[in-house]
Amino acid sequence: LHVSLPLFGQETFNYDEGKVGEYTLPSLLTSNSGDIVTNEKEWKQRRAEILQLFQENVYGKCPGKPKHIHFEIKKINKNALAGKAISKQVRIFFTKGNKGPYMDVLLYLPSHTSKPVPVFVGLNFKGNQSVNTDSTILLSEKQPELSKYTKKNDPMIRGNQSERWEVETLIENGFATATAYYGDLELDYPEGWQSGIRTSLQTELGIKPDEWGAIGAWAWGLSRITDYLETDKQVNPKKIIVHGHSRLGKAALWAGANDTRFAAVISNNSGEGGAALARRWFGETTNRINTNFPHWFIGQYKTFNNNVQNLPVDQHMLLALIAPRPLYVASATEDLWADPKGEFLSAKNAEPAYTLFGKKGLENTEMPPPDTSIGKTIRYHIRTGKHNILLFDWLQYMVFVSSNLK
Ligand code: GTR
């Protein structure tokens, strides 16, 4: 989505590396009781501590699979994308019966494969019909994002986000891709929770609306897509890759941290509250994000608006929760709001968790030049250009997945 800078002004934000100042990150490998974690077994405990710290201070609780979840295949097209793909449109009901609440998943599978395929899973910003011009995509039934900033609904235009969804490229390279509209879970504005799953599923999931936030709700939805994918024989359940751009990159990271069924995690320009270090004073800050988007995180996170140095976690610890699974963090040169260097340093500081498993991370200590992918189990690049997810990014992600998920 678009950065909301014009509305809030940039003048009070720091874009000067010289002014970032000193900060100390919380220690990844020191447990709450002060012990140093030295092996996989001890990490298991430390990991649980860190997850809990993120739940209590940042994203809120993460409920599990609802008891009565069920799936309805709405439409199968064996001749999608000029015969290159099979598409399936699946409604996921979260409760008994078929009245809702539900989310609608669009899945494309390559037609010419004999074995189960790896699948990229990610939410979209503007409805399933936005990811491709394919006229067989069912129009999103929820109103597209109603933003307090635009005060109007975006028209439902087929394929208007297709630049961001390399469906054909993925299919041609043997990958499936699954997506759903994030508004099916919660519309993205401060009162969106009232019509979203944080309200409608509170009894079913045993969680109050303020015990989690919109990012938590979107992340939860990613796991529910996975619940369906695990039942689809054409999908390889060991190769489910979660990805997301920007605020949905934050959701993808949180989903990957909570749900280890995601075999690999991709954060594209996720920035503040995603991959970027909170303590670095550069670009968006904790204060800004909590003020502009009060619905994304829990109330406790706001208590750190003016003293982020007291936050018991920083985002390198979120990235470390993905270990030992492959993790990709990507930035863009013109996306200073997301603090590319803060995203790189966060990935760098997640490495010790990977080392415990004998996995190689970024290795380099310096940021690579633009358009150069570095690292092994943790990979990073900074693409030339704006806040977006484009073909260059997708090409890196496909290579990353192929080389890491054998
Ligand atoms: C911005 C927000 C960022 C990022 C971005 C997006 O307005 O400040 O944290 O999430 O939106 O989602 O495109």
H or E element that contains 349: helix 340-356
CB 253 within 8 A of CB 267: yes
CB 124 within 8 A of CB 161: yes
Output the pLDDT for position 13: 82
* Higher local confidence (pLDDT), 395 or 8: 395
H or E element that contains 172: helix 167-172
Contacts of 103 by beta carbon, 8 Å cutoff, 6+ apart: 91, 92, 94, 180, 181, 184, 185, 221, 224, 225
* Mean pLDDT of the 162-191 span: 96
72-118 pLDDT tens trace: 999 999 999 999 999 999 999 999 999 989 999 999 999 988 899 99
135-148 pLDDT tens trace: 999 988 776 555 44
pLDDT band at 274 (very low <50, low <70, confident <90, very high): very high
18-59 pLDDT tens trace: 999 999 999 999 999 999 999 999 999 999 999 999 999 999
Q: Is the pLDDT of residue 151 over 60?
A: no
2 Cα: distance to centroid of ligand 1 (angstroms): 7
Question: Percent of the chain, pLDDT > 90?
Answer: 90
pTM summary value? 0.96
Mean pLDDT over each residue of the chain, to the nearest integer: 94
200-254 pLDDT tens trace: 999 999 999 999 999 999 999 999 999 999 999 999 999 999 999 999 999 999 9
Output the pLDDT for position 383: 98
Grouping H, G, I as helix, E, B as strand and the rest as coil, residue 179 is strand
Q: Are strands 85-93 and 378-383 parallel, antiparallel or unpaired?
A: unpaired
Positions annotated as catalytic residues are 246, 387
Atom of ligand 1 nearest to the CA of 272: 9
Output the pLDDT for position 141: 79
Q: Whose CA is nearest to atom 7 of ligand 1?
A: 3
- 318 C-beta neighbours (distance < 10 Å), count: 28
Output the pLDDT for position 380: 98
Q: Is 164 near ligand 1, meaning CB less than 6 Å away?
A: no
Q: Is 284 near ligand 1, meaning CB less than 6 Å away?
A: yes
pLDDT band at 5 (very low <50, low <70, confident <90, very high): very low
Atom of ligand 1 nearest to the CA of 289: 8
